[in-house]
C-alpha cells in the first residue's frame, strides 16, 4: 500500500513553469480543489521558531495558491483552515489561529475583489470568536457579487459533525412532512450538507507527508482524486500546485465504471 502511495508523492519539477501552466489550461482543469494544509508546526520546529510562525507563513501560501488557482480556471478552492478538533491545541496557538483570518482577509481582501474571487465559509460559526467571525463575514459580504473563483474556508469544520447534523435535519423534515423516505437519495442528502451550493471536490491535496483525511469532507470526497506530498505547507509553491493538477489530468476517473 505504501509503495502505491509513493506514486502520489512529488516528482521532479519542470523548469519551464509558464509552459506547464499553458498546457494545463488547454486540458480539463479540476473544477473544485480541496486542500488539507498540513505541516505548519513542523516547518516552524525545523527552524527553531514557535509554531505560530509556521501558521503565519502558511497564510502567505494560501494567497499565492488562490491567485494561481483562479488563473488556471479552478472554480472552487476549499482550504481546511481549522478543524473542530483543533480546539485541543494550546490556547496561545488557537488564539493566534483565530486572529489569522483578520490579518489575511484584511490585507488580501482588496486583491480578492480585484481578482473577482468570492469568499465563502463552511463550519460552525457559534464557537468562533466575534472578531474572527466579523472578518470572515465582512469578506463574504464584500465579495458576494464576484463571479470568479470561490475561496471556501473550512473553519471550525468537522465532517462527522456535519453529516450527523444533516441526518438530524433530514429526520426533522421527514417528521414534518417536508420530505418522504422515497425522496431521499444521495443528491437530496447532499443538499443538507454545508457544501450544498458547491460541486464535490475533483482533487484533494494534502501536504506534509500525512496520508489521511482527518475528518475532512468525508461524504464529498467519495470519488475525488487524492494527491499527497511530503512538502510542508509553508514550503508549498505554485510549482507543487501545478504538479498536482498535472497528475490529476493524467488520471482516468471511472466513478465505479470501467
Q: Which residues are catalytic?
A: 38, 86
Which residues in 164-201 are b (16+ Cβ under 10 Å) and which e? eebeebbeebeeeeebeeeeeeeeebbebbbbeebebb
133 vs 105: CA distance, rounded Å = 11
81 vs 59: CA distance, rounded Å = 10
**Partners of 105 in the β-ladder:** none
Extract the C-alpha cell encoding 186: 444521495
Contact present, 33 and 201 (Cβ < 8 Å) = yes
Helix (H/G/I), strand (E/B), else coil: 36: strand
Q: Alpha carbon of 60 to those of 28, 66, 93, 185: distances in Å?
A: 27, 10, 18, 40
Q: Alpha carbon of 56 to those of 60, 63, 86, 159: distances in Å?
A: 7, 12, 16, 25
59 vs 82: CA distance, rounded Å = 12
Scanning the structure block, which residue is given the C-alpha cell 425522496? 183
Nearby residues of 71 by Cβ (< 8 Å), 6 or more positions away: 21
Amino acid at each position: 500500500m505504501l509503495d502505491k502511495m509513493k506514486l502520489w508523492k512529488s516528482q521532479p519539477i519542470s523548469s519551464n513553469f509558464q509552459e506547464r501552466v499553458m498546457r494545463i489550461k488547454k486540458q480539463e482543469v479540476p473544477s473544485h480543489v480541496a486542500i488539507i494544509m498540513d505541516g505548519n508546526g513542523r516547518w516552524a520546529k525545523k527552524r527553531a521558531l514557535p509554531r505560530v510562525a509556521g501558521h503565519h507563513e502558511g497564510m502567505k501560501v494560501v494567497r499565492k495558491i488562490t491567485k494561481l488557482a483562479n488563473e488556471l480556471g479552478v472554480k472552487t478552492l476549499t482550504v481546511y483552515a481549522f478543524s473542530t478538533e483543533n480546539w485541543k491545541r494550546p490556547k496561545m496557538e488557537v488564539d493566534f489561529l483565530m486572529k489569522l483570518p483578520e490579518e489575511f482577509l484584511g490585507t488580501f481582501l482588496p486583491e480578492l475583489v480585484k481578482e473577482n474571487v468570492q469568499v465563502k465559509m463552511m463550519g460552525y460559526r457559534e464557537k468562533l470568536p466575534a472578531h474572527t467571525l466579523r472578518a470572515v463575514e465582512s469578506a463574504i459580504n464584500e465579495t458576494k457579487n464576484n463571479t470568479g473563483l470561490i475561496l471556501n474556508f473550512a473553519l471550525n469544520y468537522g465532517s462527522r459533525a456535519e453529516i450527523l447534523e444533516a441526518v438530524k435535519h433530514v429526520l426533522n423534515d421527514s417528521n414534518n412532512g417536508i420530505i418522504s423516505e422515497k425522496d431521499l437519495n444521495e443528491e437530496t442528502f447532499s443538499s443538507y450538507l454545508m457544501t450544498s451550493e458547491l460541486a464535490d471536490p475533483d482533487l484533494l491535496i494534502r501536504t506534509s507527508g500525512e496520508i489521511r483525511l482527518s475528518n475532512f469532507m468525508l461524504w464529498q470526497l467519495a470519488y475525488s482524486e487524492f494527491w499527497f506530498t511530503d512538502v510542508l505547507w509553508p514550503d508549498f509553491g505554485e510549482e507543487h500546485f501545478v504538479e498536482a493538477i498535472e497528475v490529476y489530468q493524467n488520471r482516468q476517473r471511472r466513478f465505479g465504471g470501467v
